[in-house]
Structure 1
């Protein structure tokens, strides 16, 4: 299976027109429906993304997701 085809098999949820608060609520509810919610990919549209072909957008989002899974951001949480 090619990398492109692999990306097209990902579970991607693309949200458009929602506030950040609404997106957080939607993500929480959708994640409850899956045994492994970490395999879900959520994305909010941008000016650039709404101009892209859907296959290209899914591939782009999936590549970003794969990169972040392999290279998680180092988020320093304040210790109490």
Structure 2
């Protein structure tokens, strides 16, 4: 993906060192709602990528957050979505 080749910042993705230390998501949603879930399970679900070619955006980064919001607005306007 083009984002992988030219990241806007070092913390644009979760696990930016994915080539040396790939972390795959666990696909388990329970760590987000289970108060007794381990921190390891929470981090793996939150910070892991789906596959090596599909980056996981770091939504804790305020620039990523803003980008995603602006991108959503653009698609709403572009696709003429109204509710």
TM-score above 0.5, yes or no: no
Q: TM-score, normalised by structure 2?
A: 0.28
Work out which structure has the larger RCO, using CA pairs closer than 8 Å and 6 or more positions apart in sequence: 1
Structure that is richer in strand per residue: 1
Q: TM-score, normalised by structure 1?
A: 0.28
